[in-house]
Amino acid sequence: MSQNSAKPLESNEKIDTQWSHRWRSVRTKSGALSFTLIFGLLLTLALIQAQGFKPIPTVWEGIQYSLGDPTSIARTLAWGLPLCVAAIGVALAFRSGMFNIGAEGQIYAGAMAAAIVGAYIGPMFTGLHLALCIIAAALIGGLIAGVLGWMRAVWGVDEVLSTLLSNYIIVLFCAYLATSPLRDPDRQSGTTKAVFDSAMFAEIMPKTGLRSAIFLVVVLCLAVWWLSEKSTLGYRWRMTGESASFAASVGINVKRAQIQSMVFSGALAGIAGALLVTASQGRYWTAIGSGVGWDAVLIALIGRARILPTIGWVLVYTIMRSGARGVEQVSEVPAELSLILIACIIIIAAARAGVLYKVTGIGRRLMPKREGDVNGMV
């Protein structure tokens, strides 16, 4: 431990230890992942058993439903598209230290914007119409999140509460729009006019709901990954999120980084909302969001706000959710099973270090410390 004879590591030595360090971290992470997934599986089996159904065949049915054949896979993927976009948007903001819990509201706003542009403007060439819908949704989502981000950056308004409250305000406002001025007279209250066909993504596989929007989503994922993890802009955002004082000290414009990341985050959430309309429902209705925003927040947390793990967890969750529907069809176990699972998974993933320590006494250094915990005294 003596640093007196400080000499740089020899170059060969350095590469070896750098790789062994990487290997160790990969092993730890895959260990953590398996631990979590196995726990999830056990919980599922227990819940199904508790309802009085045979666990393993039921789960197998669920897996068949979600992944059994190309139709199922397409259907599963289709469900996951809006969530994916929203989750990477939320992750982007989290990375910058901005806890955008308002994804739900931004999704609703984006859906409403897309529904309006899709139904009241046009019809026109599909590509253009879709582009307008998407852009409108991105603008409105970005604007909302940007304002909330500005309030945090300049006025110090805690964005957790402000984004939380904004959810309710926005959803209520959209509900007003859908029940009065923009209501479709031929349908029940709370639904807007159907959008023109030119404002809908084309179906790739009939009867699965999988539309060409998947290409857009893939492009967005790549773009956001590059932005967050590789680009210089992403570097500034990450440093702002890691330590705002460090970022300020080295000359990063912290306020600008905070607002920028929120704008992008809201824009992505808005786009997710647009997808709900243009790649799925065809119109806005009051329960269109149905918790996608909350799922996005949870997944971004599980994925620790890193883009690739977040996308991975979106896939896992989508399969879980799809599987839960399958389970519901063959048993009486409600599909909300997936919600229970994902909430428990995040707890168990976060508790893993603690459980390990309790059980084996090792890994004390992995344990997170609290503020005020000087020298790890508590």
Partner 1 sequence: MSQSPTRLVTPVLEVTGVTKRFGSVVANSNISFDLKPGEIHALVGENGAGKTTLMRILYGMCVRDSGSVLIRGSEVNFRRPSEAIDQGVGMVHQHFMLVPSFTVMENLTLGIEPGKFGLFDKRAAAESVLESMERLGIEMDPQGIVGELSVASQQKLEIMKILHRGASILIMDEPTAVLTPQETMELFGLLRRLAQDGSSIIFISHKLREVFEIADRITVLRNGSTVETFLTEGTDPAEVVAAMTGRDDVNLGRMERESNLGDVVLSVNYLSCVKPAHDSGLHQVSFEVRAGEIVGIAGVEGNGQSVLAEALIGTIPLAAGDIAIQGIPLAKASVSERRNQGLAYVPEDRQLEGLPINGAVWEGLVAGRLRNWSAWRSLANAFPKSSKSWVQDLISRYSIRTPGYNVACSSLSGGNQQKLVVARELEAQPTCLVLAQPTRGVDLGAIEFIYQQIIEATNNGCAVVLISADLDEIMRLTDRVLVMYGGQIVADEVTTSTTREQLGMHMMGSVVGTGAA
Partner 2 sequence: MEWFEAFFGSGIRFTTPILLAALGGLFTAWTRDLNVGLEGAMIFGAFFGVMIGLNSESWVMAVVLTTFLGVMSGLIFGYIVAELKVNVFVAGIALNVLGAGGTVYLLRSLFGVKGTLSGESVPSIPRVDLPVISEIPFFGPILSGHTVLTYFSWVLVAFLIWAVHGTKLVRHLKASGEHPAALATAGGKVNGMRIFAQAWCFALCALAGVQLSLGQLSLFTEGMTSGIGFVALAAVIFSRGRVPLLAIMCFGFGLSSAASVVISDDIIPPQFAQMTPYVVAMIGLIIFARTSKGSAMRIATPVMDKL
Rounded Cα–Cα distance for residues 9 and 318 (Å): 46
Residue 85 Cβ vs partner 1, minimum distance, rounded to whole Å: 20
Give the Å distances, CA to CA, from 138 to 250, 271, 287, 372: 32, 5, 20, 41
Q: Which is closer to partner 1, CB of 110 or CB of 142?
A: 142
Q: How far apart are CA 79 and CA 280, in angstroms?
A: 9
Contact 147, 227 (CB under 8 A): no
Distance CA 199, CA 178 (A): 19
Question: What are the residues whose beta carbons fall under 8 Å from the beta carbon of 80, sequence distance 6 or more?
Answer: 314, 315, 317, 318
The only residue of 127, 156, 251, 359 in contact with partner 1, by rule CB under 8 A: 251
For partner 1, which is the closer residue by CB, 206 or 250?
250
- Examine residue 359 and tell whether it contacts partner 1 (CB under 8 A): no
**44 lies in the site for partner 2, by CB under 8 A:** no
Cα–Cα distance between 370 and 378 in angstroms, integer? 8
In the complex with partner 2, the residue whose CB is nearer, 14 or 54, is 54
How would you class 1 by CB atoms within 10 Å of its CB: exposed for 0-12, middle for 13-18, buried for 19 or more?
A: exposed
Q: Is 360 in the site for partner 1 (CB under 8 A)?
A: no
CA distance 308 to 301: 13
Q: Which of residues 156-195 bind partner 2 (CB under 8 A)?
A: 156-158, 160-162, 164-169, 172-173, 175-176, 179-180
Q: Which of 13, 16, 197, 336 binds partner 2 (CB under 8 A)?
A: 336
* Among positions 236, 283, 321, 352, the unique one binding partner 1 when judged by CB under 8 A: 236
Residue 344 Cβ vs partner 1, minimum distance, rounded to whole Å = 26
Pick 131 or 351: Cβ nearer partner 2: 351
- CA dist 319 and 136 (Å) reads 30
CA dist., res. 105 & res. 103, Å (int)? 6
246 binds partner 1 (CB under 8 A): yes
Binding status of residue 230 toward partner 1 by CB under 8 A: yes
Cβ partners under 8 Å of residue 272, min gap 6 = 82, 83, 84, 85, 86, 89, 103, 107, 110, 292, 296
Contact partners, residue 167, CB within 8 Å, separation at least 6:
101, 102, 104, 105, 293
Per CB under 8 A, 15 contacts partner 2: no
Position 5 contacts partner 1 (CB under 8 A): yes
Residue 320 CA to residue 301 CA, distance in Å, equals 17
232 interacts with, out of partner 1, partner 2, none, CB within 5 to 8 A per kind: partner 1
User: Under rule CB under 8 A, which residues in 99-138 are in contact with partner 2?
Assistant: 99, 101
Question: Does the footprint of partner 1 cover residue 4 (CB under 8 A)?
Answer: yes
Stretch that binds partner 2, among 9-17, 55-63, 79-87, 91-99 (CB under 8 A): 91-99
Residues forming the site for partner 2 (CB under 8 A) = 51, 94-95, 97, 99, 101, 151, 155-158, 160-162, 164-169, 172-173, 175-176, 179-180, 241-242, 291, 294-295, 297-298, 301, 304-306, 332-334, 336-340, 342-344, 346-347, 349-351, 353-355, 358, 367-368, 370-375, 377-378
Residues forming the site for partner 1 (CB under 8 A) = 1-9, 14-15, 17-18, 20-22, 226-227, 230-236, 238-239, 242-243, 245-246, 248-253, 362, 364-365, 374-375, 377
